[in-house]
Chain A
Amino acid sequence: MTALLEVEDLHVEFRTRDGVAHVLNGVTYHVQAGETLAVLGESGSGKSVTAQAVMGILDTPPAFVTGGSVRFRGEELLTATPQRRREVRAEGIAMIFQDALSALNPVFTVGFQIEEQLRLRRGMSRRDARKRAVELLDLVRIPHAAQRVRDYPHQFSGGMRQRAMIAMSLALDPEVLIADEPTTALDVTVQAQIMDLLAELQRERRMALVLITHDLGVVAEVADRIAVMYAGRIVEHSDALSLFRAPGHPYTEALLRSLPHLESKGTKLETIKGLPPSLLRIPPGCPFHPRCPRAEQVCSLEVPPQVPLGSGRTSACHFALEVVGRG
Chain B
Amino acid sequence: MAEPVAEPVLEVRDLVKHFPVTRGVLFKRTIGRVRAVDGVSFTLGAGETLGVVGESGCGKSTLAQVLMRLEPPTSGEAYFEGRPMFPMRGAELRELRRNMQIVLQDPYTSLNPRMTVGDIVGEPFEIHPEVAPRGSRAGRVRELLDVVGLNPEHINRYPHQFSGGQRQRIGIARALALRPKVIVCDEPVSALDVSIQAQVMNLLGELQSEFGLAYVFIAHDLSVVRHLSDRVAVMYLGKIVEIGTEEQIYEHPTHPYTQALLSAVPVADPALRGQRDVIRLTGDVPSPIDPPSGCRFRTRCWKAQDVCATEEPALVERGLPFDHPSACHFAEERSVVP
Chain A residues near B (Cβ < 8 Å): 42-43, 143, 157-160, 187-193, 195-196, 214-221, 223, 240-241, 244-245, 254-256, 258-261, 264-265, 268-272, 275-276
Q: How far is the CB of B283 from chain A (nearest CB, A)?
A: 8
- Residue A192 contacts which of B198, B280, B284 (CB distance < 8 angstroms)? B280
Interface contact B55-A241, CB-CB below 8 Å = no
Query: Is the pair A260, B268 in contact by a Cβ cutoff of 8 Å?
Result: no
- Chain A residue with Cβ nearest B250: A262
Q: How many A-B residue pairs have CB under 8 A?
A: 111
* CB pair A259 B226 closer than 8 Å: no
Q: A260–B195 contact, CB under 8 A?
A: no
* 7 intermolecular pairs with C-beta atoms under 8 Å apart: A187-B220, A189-B264, A193-B282, A220-B273, A240-B270, A258-B195, A272-B195
**Contact across chains for A269 and B266 when beta carbons are under 8 A apart:** no
A41 to B29, CA, bound (A): 49
Encode B232-269 as 1/0 by CB contact (under 8 A) with A.
00000000000000100000000000001100111111
Quick one: which of B194, B201, B223 has the most chain A CB within 10 A? B194
Set of chain B residues within 8 Å of A158, measured between Cβ atoms: 284
Contact pick for A193, options B246, B281, B285, CB 8 Å? B281
Asked if A218 and B260 sit within 8 Å, CB to CB, the answer is: no
Shortest Cβ distance from residue B274 to the other chain A in the assembled complex, whole angstroms: 9
From B195, B196, B205, A254 is in contact (CB under 8 Å) with: B195
CB atoms of A188 and B202 under 8 A apart: no
Contacts of B268 in A (CB 8 A): 216-217, 219-220, 244, 256, 259, 261
Which of B199, B201, B220, B223 contacts A261, CB < 8 Å? B223
Kindly provide the distance from the CB of B266 to the nearest chain A CB, expressed in whole angstroms: 3
Provide the residues of chain B in CB contact with A187, threshold 8 Å: 55-56, 220, 285
Within 8 A of A (CB), among B190-214: 193-199, 201-202, 205-206
Given pairs A189-B261, A244-B268, 10 additional interface contacts (CB within 8 A): A187-B220, A192-B266, A193-B282, A196-B280, A220-B266, A220-B269, A255-B195, A258-B198, A259-B223, A269-B202
| Nearest CB of B to A245, in Å | 7
> Among the interface residues A223, A241, A275, which one has the most CB atoms of the partner chain B within 10 A?
A275
A191 touching B194, Cβ below 8 Å? no
Residues of B within 8 A of A241 (CB): 270-271
A244 touching B227 by the CB < 8 A rule?
A: no
Task: Give the residues from 269 to 310 in chain B that come closer than 8 angstroms, CB to CB, to chain A.
Answer: 269-273, 278, 280-285
**In the complex the two chains form, is B271's CB within 8 Å of A188's CB?**
no
Q: Which of B226, B227, B270, B278 has the most CB of A within 10 A?
A: B270
A-chain residues with CB within 8 Å of residue B12 when the two chains form the complex: none
Q: Which of A193, A195, A214, A264 is within 8 Å of B194, CB to CB?
A: A214
Report B's interface with A, CB cutoff 8 A: 55-56, 163, 165, 193-199, 201-202, 205-206, 220, 222-224, 226-227, 246, 260-261, 264-273, 278, 280-285
CB distance from B30 to the nearest CB of A (A): 23
With A and B bound together, what is the CA distance between A259 and B280 in angstroms?
A: 24
A260 to B267, CA, bound (A): 11
Contact of B197 among A190, A218, A240, A258 (CB under 8 A): A258
Partner of B264, one of A43, A191, A215, A216: A191
Given known pairs A160-B284, A187-B56, A259-B223, the reply for A271 and B195 (CB within 8 Å) is: yes
- Complex: chain A residue closest to B195, CB-CB: A272
Contact A271 B223 (CB under 8 A): no
Q: Which 7 A-B residue pairings sit nearest by Cβ, starting from the closest?
A: A217-B266, A260-B227, A258-B198, A187-B55, A269-B198, A272-B195, A192-B264
Instruction: List chain B residues, Cβ under 8 A from A276.
Output: 193
Check if B163 sits within 8 Å of A271, measured CB to CB: no
The distance in angstroms between the C-alpha atoms of A217 and B263, with both chains bound, is 12
- Which residues from A are CB-within-8-Å of B265? 188, 217
CB < 8 Å: which of A191, A195, A259, A275 contacts B165?
Answer: A275
List chain B residues, Cβ under 8 A from A188.
55, 220, 222, 261, 264-265
A260 touches B270 (CB 8 A): no
How far apart sit A299 and B100, CA to CA, in the bound complex (Å)?
47
B267 contacts across to A, CB distance below 8 A: 217, 220-221
Q: Chain B contacts of A189 at CB under 8 A?
A: 55, 260-261, 264, 281
- Provide the residues of chain A in CB contact with B266, threshold 8 Å: 191-192, 195, 215, 217-218, 220-221
What A residues does B283 contact at CB under 8 A?
143
Contacts of A214 in B (CB 8 A): 193-194
Shortest CB distance B268–A (Å): 4
Task: Enumerate chain A residues within 8 angstroms of B55, measured Cβ to Cβ.
Answer: 187-190
User: How many whole Å from B175's CB to the nearest CB in chain A?
Assistant: 21
A207–B147 alpha-carbon span in the complex (Å): 51
When C-beta atoms are compared, the residue in chain B nearest to A42 turns out to be B193
Q: Which residue of A lies closest to B196 (CB)?
A: A275
Measured between alpha carbons, how far is A195 from B220 in the docked complex, in Å?
18
A271 near B202 with CB under 8 A, answer yes
A268 interface neighbour in B202, B270, B280, B285, Cβ under 8 Å: B202
Give the distance in Å from the alpha carbon of A258 to the alpha carbon of B265 in the complex. 17
CB pair B195 A157 closer than 8 Å: no
Kindly list chain A residues whose C-beta atoms are within 8 Å of the C-beta of B281: 189, 192-193
Q: CA A215 – CA B266 in complex, angstroms?
A: 9
Nearest CB in chain A to that of B205: its residue: A268
Q: Given the complex, which residues of B lie within 8 Å of A255, measured CB to CB?
A: 194-195
When the two chains form their complex, are residues B220 and A258 in contact, meaning their CB atoms are under 8 A apart? Answer: no
Kindly list chain A residues whose C-beta atoms are within 8 Å of the C-beta of B222.
188
Q: Are B271 and A245 within 8 A (Cβ)?
A: yes
Q: Which residues of A contact B163 (CB under 8 A)?
A: 275
What is the distance, in angstroms, from A321's C-beta to the closest C-beta of chain B? 22
- Residue in chain A with minimal CB distance to B201: A269
From B200, which residue of chain A is reached at the shortest CB distance? Answer: A271
Q: B284 and A190: CB pair below 8 A? A: yes
CB-based nearest B residue for A185: B56
- How many Å lie between the Cα of A244 and that of B226 in the bound state? 22
CA distance A256 to B269 in the complex (A): 10
Chain A residues positioned under 8 Å from B269 (CB to CB):
220, 244
Report the minimum CB–CB distance from B228 to chain A (whole Å).
8
